[in-house]
Amino acid sequence: MASAATQEIPAHVPAKKAMRLPFFAREEVKDCPQEKMIPEMHKSLGPITYVTNIFPGDKPGWLLTGYQDTMALLRDPENFTKNGMGQWSQSIDENWLVVPTEIDPPSHTFYRKALNPQFSPQKMAAMKDDLRRRAHDLIDVFKGRGSCDFVNEFSERFPIFIVLDLLGLPQDRMAEFLVWEKDMLHTNDWKVRVAAVTHVVDYLRGEIADRRANPRDDYITRIFDFEVDDGRKWNDEEVLGHCFNLFLGGLDTVTTMLGNIFCHLARHPDQQKELRENPDKIVLAVEEFLRVYGPVTAFRIATRELEIHGQKIMPGEYVSVCTPVANQDPEQHDNPSEVRFDRKAPHIALGGGIHKCLGMHLARFELQTALEVFLAEIPQFRFKDGFAPSYFVGNITFVPRLELQWS
């Protein structure tokens, strides 16, 4: 299950609580981690573990396995800050923050006041026709072929079309953007990550400068009119931090969820058939898929010395918000790795507390629309003959390749 840590362990960490976990190895495995690795973690680990490879670059931090413990952390910004938690700007020797993700109260409140109306359920619902059109356009390319490379031909492209449209960024650079995104989020090589962050920041700074000089009818231009608490307009570093947030989240989270969902449906044809025959179940099914397959492990940083389950946590240490593990807490759910469309269970796949995902309404509409259109347009699908999926484990859990066929 776990190997002994090879790095120096802090004096306040008991040796039995320190370990390297395969779940954070940032590599491909053969077995579905939601069905094997995560249930094993709940059986073998205590409520808090010092994981030596939990952060990219094999950096250490604390893993909480319990849902309620994780929710308590999400609701406690005073003791657990998000300020600089991703080490994005710090990794390239800068000091801007990802907006609003890395902003703490009270400033966070004013940023969200400006941003929440831009991503309201009503505004996102108004995009549904565009979402459906994009889904149909992608499916039309491979519908008659009887097969598709789902990740390359659909799940990567569908949400990215929407985010690039929103930001007014060129669709013809999508392949390049995807390389940067994967190098930022799916690598354990810190140098590769830093190079990708540099590419994205340089690119976004150029786009922001262009909008300052030549305003357009797009979201980046509209950000210039957003205000913070004193009525001041956002400066370019704040605009950069927000655009970086949308680039980071918009190009990955829904993509990984779509791969996880459609892999599940290929492995469970009975549930695929159930959704085909009962499309009214798709909304609740998306919530259950988010609970079981929510992919992200995020972090908070302890602001002072404190204790969790009797374990001392020191200031500056990372404490994880590991949604794939917390959402499968057996104390919270019966048979937690089992997908049940009628479960109606709470989850933290889209965060919790004041930092609940800004784009959660758009993400839900994207997932719902993809399922509705794909299941209506494509017959019962399965894995392509000779294909077996593998699963990437790490701070984002996903299916790197998914070859489907039908007929």
Q: What is the pLDDT of residue 257?
A: 97
**pLDDT tens-digit series, residues 39-64:** 999 999 999 999 999 998 899 999 99
The reply to whether 218 falls in a domain is yes
Q: What is the pLDDT of residue 6?
A: 56
Helix or strand or coil: residue 90? helix
Q: What is the pLDDT of residue 4?
A: 46
Q: What is the pLDDT of residue 86?
A: 75
Mean pLDDT of 149-173: 92
The reply to whether 62 falls in a domain is yes
The reply to whether 8 falls in a domain is no
How many Å apart are CA 373 and CA 155, to the nearest integer?
13
Work out how many domains the chain is built from and give that number.
1
Q: What is the pLDDT of residue 252?
A: 84
The reply to whether 9 falls in a domain is no
Contact 201, 240 (CB under 8 A): yes
Whole-number average pLDDT of the chain: 94
Beta-carbon-side half-sphere exposure of residue 46 (alpha carbons within 13 Å): 14
Q: What is the pLDDT of residue 155?
A: 96
Residue numbers of the domain that contains 67: 15-406
Strand stretches in 150-285, DSSP E: none
**pLDDT tens-digit series, residues 92-106:** 999 999 999 999 888
Whether the predicted pLDDT of 248 surpasses 90: no
**pLDDT tens-digit series, residues 131-150:** 999 999 999 999 999 999 99
How many Å apart are CA 308 and CA 80, to the nearest integer?
12
Q: Is the pTM of this model over 0.85?
A: yes
Mean pLDDT of 222-241: 92
Q: Give 353-401 as a DSSP string.
A: GGG--TTHHHHHHHHHHHHHHHHHHS-SEEEPTT----EEESSB-B-S-
The reply to whether 5 falls in a domain is no
The reply to whether 3 falls in a domain is no
Whether the predicted pLDDT of 2 surpasses 60: no
**pLDDT tens-digit series, residues 174-230:** 999 999 998 998 888 889 999 999 999 999 999 999 999 999 999 999 999 999 877
Give the CATH number of the domain where residue 240 resides.
1.10.630.10
